[in-house]
Amino acid sequence: MMMNIFSKKSAPRLMLFFAIGVLTMPIWLDPVGANYPDLLQKFAIFGIFAIGYNILFGLTGYLSFGHAVFLGVGSYSAVWSFKLLTMNVIPAIIFSIIMAGLIAAAIGYVSLRRSGIYFSILTLAFAQMFYNLAYSVLTPITNGETGLQLTMHDPRIIDNALSRTVETGLPSTDFFGISMNGYSGFYFCAVMLIIAFYIYLKIFSSPFGMKLKGIKSNQKRMKYIGSDTRPYLIAAFVISGMFAGLAGSLMAVTDPLAGAERMQWTASGEVILMTILGGVGTLFGPLLGVGIIKYLENIFSAVNDSVLHSFYSFLPQWGENLLVTITAPFVGEGWHLTLGLLFMLTVIFLPGGVMEGFQKIKLYFQNRNKPDKSNNSSEESSNV
Amino acid sequence: MKHDSNQFKVTRRQALKTGAAVSVAPLMFSKGVWAANNYTNNPGYKSTVTLGFNVPQTGAYADEGMDELRAYKLAVKHLNGEGDGGLMNTMKPMNLKGNGILGKKVKYVTGDTQTKSDAARASAKRMIEKDGVIMFSGGSSSGVAIAVQGLAQELGVVFMAGLTHSNDTTGKDKRRYGFRHFFNAKMSGSALGPVLKDEMGTDRKAYHLTADYTWGWTQEQSIQETTEGLGWETTAKVRTPVGAGDFSQFITPVLNSGADVLILNHYGKDMINSLTQAVQFGLRDKNVGGKNFEIIVPLYSRLMAQGAGDNLKGILGTANWDWQLQDEGTKAFVRSFGKEYGFPPSMAAQTCYVQALLYANACENAGTFYPPEVIKQLEGFEFDGMGNGPTEYRAEDHQCFKNVLVVRGNQNPTSSYDLLDIVKEVPRADVEYDASIFGGELGPYIV
Amino acid sequence: MDAVLIQLLNGLDKGAAYALIALGLTLVFGTLGVVNFAHGALFLIGAFCAVTFQKIVTISKKVLDPNITYFDAYIEQPYLEIWFGETGLAVIDYAVPLSLFLAVPVMLLVGLAMERGLIQFFYKRTHAEQILVTFGLAIVLQEIIRHFFGANPIPTPAPDIVSGSAPIGLWIGLGESFVYPWWRLIYLSSSIVIISSVFAFLNMTTFGMVVRAGMANRQMVGFLGINIERKFTIIFALAAVVAGVAGVMYAPILPPDYHLGMDFLVISFVIVVVGGMGSLRGAVAAGFLLGVLQSLAAMTAVNALLPGISQIVIYLVAVIVLLTRPRGLMGRKGVMDE
């Protein structure tokens, strides 16, 4: 299954379909009420975050609990670039990726001395340190709880030198004159997602990616055959940190404010949930996970009793009330409950996430068509 | 046409927005060309108008948030001419007709800020982009209020702040599109000063525990200015993380610090925890150099008094409003709120209710929803009958000026809601200050 | 000097909370080999046993409040007070300690249900999957609590008689500014009692011996024909009870809300790892150590020297320990090695 995706012939076609799929999101997400810029931007941004996370966790099996740090670092760097240099987003993005990469190199260098749960706890400890410091001592850099914001008196050296100044009010982020508000912001993020996905695809199919998969399946064997895994692990960690940095900078591009909450361990937990829910280690799984969770968070959480009542209004009064009572705890404020249940069911029954579910359904239909080959294909499925 | 001067002036950002809109034209509702129509979420010919209520439903300030939401729902009812009309019976001057706003029925959407800037902005963006709100309101954390106020300015949607007490909200971070009815830390300090002098004298040593964010910092600063003005010393100022839960490791150092006053710059759940723990550590029974140890909570509300229980009895603080005030506006609002929910409103609820009505009234006065005109109506607006005596929305910084209450935790409550004693109603003149002291710029009308 | 001593005591008090949670966590890990991210939720359920019990004893009759004339307001009068007068009020006052009688059986059942219903199916799956499924369970449990009790903390005060503080300074001749709240002292001493009894149970009973043997070499004990699974189930329930009792006792210190479990989870995990995965003594030692360090770091003098240290000291120590002592402070070889 996997192999033919990577074959030289189909890779460009895959990219083309992917690009079209991403860019037409405003059209095909409209019927489900998800077509508004903020949510579309979130899909793209967290998509980048999740595929980056998948490079580390999906390929090497190293479970990092501190990836949100790079998201935060990316955001802060980008906002500082807006404040000090220019409102153009390109320097901000480059600066963010570099900063996130540097911090990832430092954390990765230390944390990757250990593996397993020790690695997880080390990344968690670093993440909590960054988060707590951002709230307290680093306030001059992060502006604490309020979050780092643009002000009218920011120096913006480059903008001022080019006299690209705004007469009144706060400037907005732009890509050579195109404002990054609303849909143009989404298209920018979407293009970034497509580029990131291309790199991700290349990494998956490269010898480097194979090496990482080797680490996941058996690190000892890799060591015995004389292959030092540490440089590969650090490289994977830094790359995935840079993806997170890019995602963080895009959060600042679409909304120039950086808050410390996006560095909390629960934010790292969220990307783990996304990756697992969709299917860890699979190509598209993390993106599916992002879609499901962000959709739940934004659409489900806004459903309240009156919406439910109108949804069930075709039923008789008592049936309507009964169903509203049953469903109410799972929507609105209770969407976390739905998420937790969904997640548990996934880990219990579909450790491979939604992607494994698709695979099973597909196999089921294949097997119905060709019953004689059933043994063969079910074995194949476990490798996916 | 009312807005001749604005008609052909299109700023760079508007041009960009229009450009962006055109490029995705099939996906967006079409926008008009004229400036006065070309503003975010113009309700146009629709028969309804949507307001957004963005309050903390979870997190440290959730109690306040839920009460704010109750007040908003009540305000929407009254605006649409349902219920007993509440403050619409006492507000003056008033242009509201009880048929919605400008004849359009008021609908609302709600959101959870989770007491976090990020979540609050995401929620506000959803309201503006997806639900098409013409105005949004809410608060309970100054950090959040400042963050979403910035967004309001960027997207050109008016934000009527709920409970936010930091000086920065209408000080260095003030915005043209943000309005605050609630009082602030500076006003708390001014109101509290004379009372502290009377009750505790001029020779005191104060120890601050401060919530580590904009509100905590400005309140610490304002109270410190006040107390040092009285001749008090400041022993220490310790910053504590928001939502720390167990504050004991910050309270134990107070015992031996030589201080004889503890000032808790905490709010909501944090304040309930830190006060409860301070009392458990015997601070209230303590005696330092012949003086009784005192605790001051510069800002607190009846909701927090409920959570803190007996610990709050006798403790001084300030409040924006209290349901036991005896003016007609307060009575009308408490009656209306109490009938609806079975208990009296909190000060957070009152401020939010008033904000909703003020916005609606400004639209009626302007005859349009076009934000620059609505803003001009609110700026410098003077009104009465809303519960705090004659009040003015100062044009320079969008801060309301009105009487401030100094309160004390009631020693002998006569009812389950009679938790605060009003020590003094400090007149507006005593808490006024020059708008320029905090700096900041409002920014443009047209964005 | 007083200042350091009182901070030390405060640290022990904090440490006791950490140690109790970490003890159960590492007990489960050492015996069942399961990394249980829902352990914090057990602490949470314990705390809400206290809340529930308090709610039950204060079920009230609503009486119209004559003092409020604007609208219909009600005064709540607990039925217990109406029926039993003083005795009823005493029960309400002692709600938290009495709720232990509710918490122990409830936690036992919750523990059994969790182990039989979910955990047992994860013995043979990877640690990552165990973490993930229990993390999901923790979310579900806390959301259920939130659905029934709301998002706000619920005050659950200690009995009146112990609501003040003890003049420790006067007892030991250090002046009257050295005081410490009674309930925290009770919490500290009961934690020590619980910890000691868990150790005594494991060291002095046959059951405990088998369990310890199982922790050291599970296969071997299995070969001896002992039904180790059954014993481990009981151990899981025991860990749940320990966490639950810790939760009940903690309720007066910090009014519980639905997020309490998650707040403690991260720290207690760090503690278990610092102590050494699977080492009971390590978990207890690390719990007290980190509690004390956290408390000392909050002192004004320390903070002036190293700004922000109070916020990160726990994690900093964790990083240092993990890098210098690969198995934590007291970890044994062969447990969770790489």
Q: What is the pLDDT of residues A239-289, one digit of tens each?
A: 999 999 999 999 999 988 888 888 888 888 889 989 988 998 888 999 999
Would you call A172 an interface residue with chain B, using a CB distance cutoff of 8 Å? Answer: yes
Query: Is the peptide bond prior to A26 cis by the omega test (within 30 degrees of 0)?
Result: no
| Residue C109 φ/ψ, nearest 5 degrees | -65, -45
Would you call A106 an interface residue with chain C, using a CB distance cutoff of 8 Å? Answer: no
Interface test with B, best of A40, A83, A145 (most B CBs within 10 A): A145
Do residues C75 and B415 touch, judged by C-beta distance below 8 A?
yes
| Radius of gyration of the CA atoms of chain A, in A | 22
Rounded CA-CA distance A208/B183 in Å is 60
Contacts of C37 (CB under 8 A, 6+ apart): C130, C131, C134, C135, C137, C138, C265, C269
Q: Which of B19, B117, B125 sits opposite A38 (nearest CB)?
A: B125
CB pairs under 8 A between B and C: 126
What domains does chain A contain, in order, with CATH numbers?
A: 35-283 (1.10.3470)
Rounded CA-CA distance B207/A55 in Å is 50
Contacts of B121 (CB under 8 A, 6+ apart): A255, A257, B147, B148, B151
pLDDT of residue A80: 95
What domains does chain C contain, in order, with CATH numbers?
A: 2-324 (1.10.3470)
Would you call C313 an interface residue with chain B, using a CB distance cutoff of 8 Å? Answer: no
Do residues C40 and C50 touch, judged by C-beta distance below 8 A?
no
Domain ranges of chain B: 37-183+324-402, 187-319
Q: Are strands C180-181 and B400-401 parallel, antiparallel or unpaired?
A: unpaired
Contacts of C175 (CB under 8 A, 6+ apart): C2, C169
Q: Do B23 and A166 touch (CB under 8 A)?
A: no
Mean pLDDT, 10 residues at a time, chain C of 338 residues: 83 90 88 87 95 90 75 78 86 91 95 92 84 90 88 84 83 79 92 93 86 74 74 89 93 87 84 86 92 87 78 88 83 58
Global pTM value: 0.85
Q: Do B20 and A183 touch (CB under 8 A)?
A: yes
> Would you mind telling me the total number of residues written for chain C in this entry?
338
Residues of C in contact with B414 (CB under 8 A): 67
- Residue C190, classified by CB atoms within 10 Å of its CB into exposed (0-12), middle (13-18) or buried (19+), is middle
Count of CB atoms situated within 10 Å of the CB of B36: 17
Rounded CA-CA distance C269/C134 in Å is 13
Helix H or strand E segment including B179: strand B178-180
From chain A residues 234-263, the ones with a CB under 8 A of any chain B CB are: 255, 257, 259, 261-262
Q: Which of C273, C248, C279, C290 is nearest to C328 (CA)?
A: C273
Helices (H), C254-306: 260-275, 280-297, 300-305
**Chain C residue whose CA is closest to A123:** C319
Q: Do domains B37-183+324-402 and B187-319 have the same CATH topology?
A: yes
Percentage of residues in chain A having pLDDT higher than 70 = 91
Distance between B138 CA and the closest CA of chain A, angstroms:
16
Interface test with B, best of C61, C152, C156, C265 (most B CBs within 10 A): C152
Tell me the three state secondary structure of residue B57. coil
Looking at residue A167, its amino acid is E
Tell me the three state secondary structure of residue A368. helix
Q: How far is CA C117 from the centre of its chain?
A: 23
Q: Which of A63, A276, A340 sits opposite C139 (nearest CB)?
A: A340
Would you call A61 an interface residue with chain C, using a CB distance cutoff of 8 Å? Answer: yes
The CATH H-level superfamily of B37-183+324-402 is Response regulator (3.40.50.2300)
Would you call C121 an interface residue with chain A, using a CB distance cutoff of 8 Å? Answer: yes
Do residues C177 and B260 touch, judged by C-beta distance below 8 A?
no
Q: Do C147 and A110 touch (CB under 8 A)?
A: no
Does the predicted interface ipTM exceed a cut of 0.90? Answer: no
Count of CB atoms situated within 10 Å of the CB of A3: 7
Would you call A347 an interface residue with chain C, using a CB distance cutoff of 8 Å? Answer: yes
Would you call B121 an interface residue with chain C, using a CB distance cutoff of 8 Å? Answer: no
Q: How far is CA A271 from the centre of its chain?
A: 6
Do residues A191 and A19 touch, judged by C-beta distance below 8 A?
no
Q: Which of A140, A6, A127, A152 is nearest to A66 (CA)?
A: A127
Interface test with C, best of B55, B246, B252, B418 (most C CBs within 10 A): B252
Distance between C43 CA and the closest CA of chain B, angstroms:
15
| Radius of gyration of the CA atoms of chain C, in A | 22
List the pLDDT tens digit at each of the 384 positions of chain A. Answer: 344 445 555 788 889 999 999 999 999 988 888 888 889 999 999 999 999 999 999 999 898 989 999 999 999 999 999 999 998 999 999 999 999 999 999 999 999 988 888 898 899 999 989 998 888 788 888 887 778 888 777 888 888 888 776 655 677 888 888 888 788 999 999 999 999 999 999 998 899 988 888 888 777 677 677 677 889 999 999 999 999 999 999 999 998 888 888 888 888 888 998 998 899 888 899 999 999 999 888 777 777 666 777 777 787 888 888 888 887 777 777 788 888 898 899 888 888 888 888 888 888 888 887 655 444 444 443 333
Do residues C109 and C244 touch, judged by C-beta distance below 8 A?
no
Q: Which of A318, A384, A320, A317 is nearest to A355 (CA)?
A: A384
Other chains touching C, judged by 3 or more CB pairs under 8 Å: A, B
Q: Do A146 and B119 touch (CB under 8 A)?
A: no
Q: Are strands B404-409 and B420-426 parallel, antiparallel or unpaired?
A: antiparallel
Q: Which CATH number fits domain B187-319: 3.40.50.2300, 3.40.710.10, 2.30.42.10, 3.40.50.300?
A: 3.40.50.2300
Residues of C in contact with B246 (CB under 8 A): 14, 253-254
Count of CB atoms situated within 10 Å of the CB of B254: 24
Residue carrying the six token digits 């949470």 = C44
Q: Which of A247, A236, A198, A296 is nearest to A64 (CA)?
A: A236
